Structure 1
Amino acid sequence: MRKPYDLPSLGDLACFEAAARNLSFKLASSEMNVTPAAVSHRIKALEQELGQPLFNRHYRGVELTEAGALLFVSLQRSFEGISDSVARIRSRHDRTAVVIAATTAMSGLWLTPRLAAFWKAHPGVAISQVIEDSGRAQGVDLSIHYGDPALESDETRVLFHDRILALGSAQFAQTYDIRQIGDLAQVPLIRIQSGANAWTDWPEWFAALNRPSPHGPEFSLNNYLIALKAAEDDIGAVLGWEGLSGSALDSGRLVQLVPEAMASPYPFYLRIHGRASANARLFADWLSEEDHGL
């Protein structure tokens, strides 16, 4: 049966393109994950099939012949076209699904508990979560952040504004006899230091309540969930966002140590990325509603 295209082996052409682009058999072999000898063998086979050399080989390297340059330009244009088509196909893959990125804390304490209610209302929409604590998730429809939404270039939706509470275990409160805000000045404090979110720290919290900065021992963690767990284990007091305290407050694993609370300087908001599908926007609208019966 006659082939529809008069082409050499595609594997040979791919090896040649890599070698021509790098002007190096060694670099091409690393890129193709084969040995330099294998690259050399495939290019020799291609030259034999075409009946003329594609490279001039020198002691210090290789350079393209006129025929090699002609083939390289043609292949590069073709591969660029194929790459563009593949990218378009990938971006359209399963557009009924929604991909949302969130930190471990936001996913576990706020987002995931709401998914069951969304699926009851919209059973045909699949949701995939990407857990990303660095805040740099790629290839997603939506992402949840804590900070100033005005700094985003994409469309945003405010999810909730919160209060920041001083939390600790009941045992911790009893051990240090914590009854008022001044009692927190010298007790062990857990600090949350994470690049993903601009978490309010203890000095800011005390300053917002017109109190001097605390001077007790500190224990630093870079994960909000682990910080809450450390507070449950009596290690220290922690600043907790009321909407991100999960069941810890309801169950009594953590208690509000003092009645004072600080209004959060930033909201938690949803970023709607440029690739967001109609289903992603449906989910965004649903999430930004005030109440889902939780």
Structure 2
Amino acid sequence: MPKRPYDLPPLSSLVSFESAARHISFKKAAAELNVTPAAVSHQVKALEQDLNSVLFRRHHRGVELTETGAYLLVSLQRGFEEINGALDQLRARAWKTSVTIRATTAMSALWLTPRLAQFWKSHPHISVSQIVSDADEIEPDCDLSIHYGDMSSDTGLCRALFHDRISALASPRFAEQNRISTIDDLAALPLIHLDAGGTDWTDWQDWFAALGYGGKLRNSHRVNNYVIALQAAQDDMGAVLGWEGLTRSFVETGRLVKLLRETVSSPRDYYVKLQPHASEQARLVFNWLAASSGRKEGEAESAGARRPEASAR
């Protein structure tokens, strides 16, 4: 038989001895281990034979540790304490494993982070980390990823978060200084253009075209980050396109206002995707995010009809 890496007697004998030595009683050790006192005595005798040493002095009224027994007890307790500490850490890590979510800067700042704050209040035992990136590549180690696109063409387990409408927004001061009642009025004013390469985000040209306007647009300010675009609008620099799911808090708090009643349906959905290697904790976050967006709890593979590219309301 192959040699064992550790030259140890049977663990059952070590456990029985440690309990008997700690209690200075075979009877109490038996109760703790849910065995008979005779079984404890048998295990201790087997250990003494293996070590060729006397570990207990046996008397009519009980037992007492020998010097060898006391030395072994201290050594075993140190070893058991280290094992117990390692197991506690592994048990805690198994449930507190961090869940990673990949999202764009805009999605993270405007939609995801406020919801994760609510998630942590009801699930403090789960740590959630965000990978914030506007690049197309998906991090290989992320558990979840949030996308703006055609969910029906994606693979894997996906759940829709929300389908947006897009409005023209600006600061209250800008709206007051520029009386806007028609599409033509808006087209003549400073517009904040978002240059987000590699995305399917609707731009001003698309938005106006969806509302039947084909004239010229004022080319005013250009930024490559949606959060910056919203800040520029709050600073009275011009009008910005507002995805309602991302900008709801700006409108509700009055930091931005709608310039026209007309809105355009977003050509894409926001959805969350669960990676195949994701843990049970990641699946819990996945279901919670979908439920918090107002969708049904039942999971479904990515599928569904495409909505119209744009429509006016």
TM range, smaller chain: 0.5 to 0.7
Residue 100 of structure 2 aligns with which residue? 99
SS in 2 for 1:177: coil
Matched, 1:236 2:260: no
1:172 CA drift (Å): 1.4
SS in 2 for 1:156: strand
Matches of 1:252 and 1:163, distance apart in 2: 19
Residue 257 of structure 2 aligns with which residue? 255
1:115 CA drift (Å): 1.4
Structure 1's 104 and 93: CA in aligned 2 closer, same or farther, altered over 3 A? farther
Residue 229 of structure 2 aligns with which residue? 227
Residue 179 of structure 2 aligns with which residue? 177
Matches of 2:163 and 2:120, distance apart in 1: 25
Runs of at least 5 residues in structure 1 that lack an aligned partner in the other structure:
5-91
Structure 1's 290 and 119: CA in aligned 2 closer, same or farther, altered over 3 A? closer
Match of 2:150 among 139, 148, 151: 148
Matches of 1:136 and 1:211, distance apart in 2: 35
Matches of 1:128 and 1:141, distance apart in 2: 10
Matches of 2:107 and 2:256, distance apart in 1: 18
Amino acid across the alignment from 1:227: A
CA distances 1:148-183 after superposition (whole Å, capped 9, x unpaired): 112322321110001101001122122222123221
1:213 CA drift (Å): 4.2
Residue 208 of structure 2 aligns with which residue? 206
Preserved CA contact (<8 Å) 1:189 1:238: yes
Match of 1:165 among 148, 164, 167: 167
Amino acid across the alignment from 2:136: G
1:95 CA drift (Å): 7.6
Aligned length: 202
CA distances 1:115-139 after superposition (whole Å, capped 9, x unpaired): 1321233222110111111132411
1:219 CA drift (Å): 1.6
Matched, 1:245 2:238: no
* TM-score, normalization by structure 2: 0.60
Deviates more, 1:109-118 or 1:189-198: 189-198
Preserved CA contact (<8 Å) 2:96 2:127: no
Structure 1's 135 and 94: CA in aligned 2 closer, same or farther, altered over 3 A? farther
CA distances 1:228-253 after superposition (whole Å, capped 9, x unpaired): 00111111111010110153212212
Matches of 1:195 and 1:134, distance apart in 2: 9
Paired-residue identity, %: 50
Preserved CA contact (<8 Å) 1:206 1:214: no
1:291 CA drift (Å): 4.8
Matches of 1:213 and 1:280, distance apart in 2: 48
Preserved CA contact (<8 Å) 2:95 2:125: no
Amino acid across the alignment from 1:234: D
Matches within 5 A, 1:55-94: none
Larger radius of gyration between Structure 1 and Structure 2: 2
Matches of 1:269 and 1:225, distance apart in 2: 20
CA distances 1:4-58 after superposition (whole Å, capped 9, x unpaired): 9xxxxxxxxxxxxxxxxxxxxxxxxxxxxxxxxxxxxxxxxxxxxxxxxxxxxxx
Matches of 1:163 and 1:286, distance apart in 2: 23
Residue 113 of structure 1 aligns with which residue? 114
Runs of at least 5 residues in structure 2 that lack an aligned partner in the other structure:
6-92, 295-313
Structure 1's 291 and 154: CA in aligned 2 closer, same or farther, altered over 3 A? closer
Deviating above 3 A after TM superposition, structure 1's stretches of 4 or more consecutive aligned residues are 92-95
Structure 1's 290 and 200: CA in aligned 2 closer, same or farther, altered over 3 A? same
Amino acid across the alignment from 2:102: A
1:280 CA drift (Å): 0.8
Structure 1's 255 and 141: CA in aligned 2 closer, same or farther, altered over 3 A? same
Matches of 1:155 and 1:247, distance apart in 2: 29
Preserved CA contact (<8 Å) 1:203 1:214: no
* TM-score, normalization by structure 1: 0.64
Residue 270 of structure 1 aligns with which residue? 272
Matches of 2:156 and 2:293, distance apart in 1: 24
CA RMSD of aligned residues (A): 2.1
Matched, 1:127 2:132: no
Structure 1's 206 and 126: CA in aligned 2 closer, same or farther, altered over 3 A? same
Preserved CA contact (<8 Å) 1:187 1:217: no
SS in 1 for 2:108: helix
Amino acid across the alignment from 1:149: M
